[in-house]
Amino acid sequence: MAGKGGTGKTTIASLIVGILGAKTDSVLGIDADPNSNLAESLGLFVQETIGGMLDDIAAHPDTVPKGMTKDRFIDYKVQTLVQESKGFDILSMGRPEGSGCYCYVNNVLRGAMGKLIKDYEYTVIDNEAGLEHFSRRTTRQADVLFVVSDASAMGLKAARRIHDLVKELKIKIKHSYLLVNRFSGTLEEKKVQDTGLEYIGSIPEDPQVASLSLNGESLLMLNKDAVSLKSLRALLEKTKIL
């Protein structure tokens, strides 16, 4: 998942995790956004993130067991950060609170992803808003990239920039789709073509989603017939994900 901030990218990622988690219990949701909102959207409390864990090790190097390298200890600790829930697990990147930069956190996340995703049938990665995540090459490849936008010119221009950067960095994506959120109208063909992406469809505004988000409640509480879920299921079937 990628897109401009404020387009509902994390909401869509959460709904996808929930839909897939109802189909199989082998779903890993990765919150690659330092703000770490994916878990909360699914009703989970983030106990510790990769960024926080690295800060703790930097502040207390004596916690690394004797006879174990720091890198190996970090690999072990990442495994303990995976939060388990019914139908899915979540791993949150978080942000370093100290002087450490995102580079190291991204490297650890990239390494963790490489080892974890093979154990799951589905992996849903909620990327940081904008282009930074791809610029850092945390995501090297994916079967499907959903670039989430609203119907605004600014959102669609951001979608185009993401598409161009993915090609420039030679990130291996099998299918790249434009998904327009909170929109029920007809998108002009030229606007779609200008993004360079295949338009998969739109998700209409859903008052149930707005109400749950406003009250800080889990999106898993959505009624099964909610318009957002019905629309998203149809799009996932269209892409052969479901």
Task: State how many domains the chain has.
Answer: 1
Q: Which residues span the domain enclosing 185?
A: 2-238
Strand order in the sheet with 27-32: 83-85, 88-92, 27-32, 122-127
Taking the model in full, what pTM does it have?
0.93
Cα dihedral 44, 16, 109, 129 sign:
negative
Asked if 37 and 211 touch (Cβ cutoff 8 Å), the reply is: no
For residue 79, give the CATH number of its domain. Answer: 3.40.50.300
Q: Where are the beta strands (DSSP E) in 122-164?
A: 122-127, 141-149
Amino acid 147: pLDDT: 96
Q: Report residues of the chain scoring pLDDT below 70.
A: 97-101, 130-138
DSSP code at position 82: P
Amino acid 34: pLDDT: 83
pLDDT in tens, 42-77: 999 988 999 999 999 999 999 999 999 999 999 999
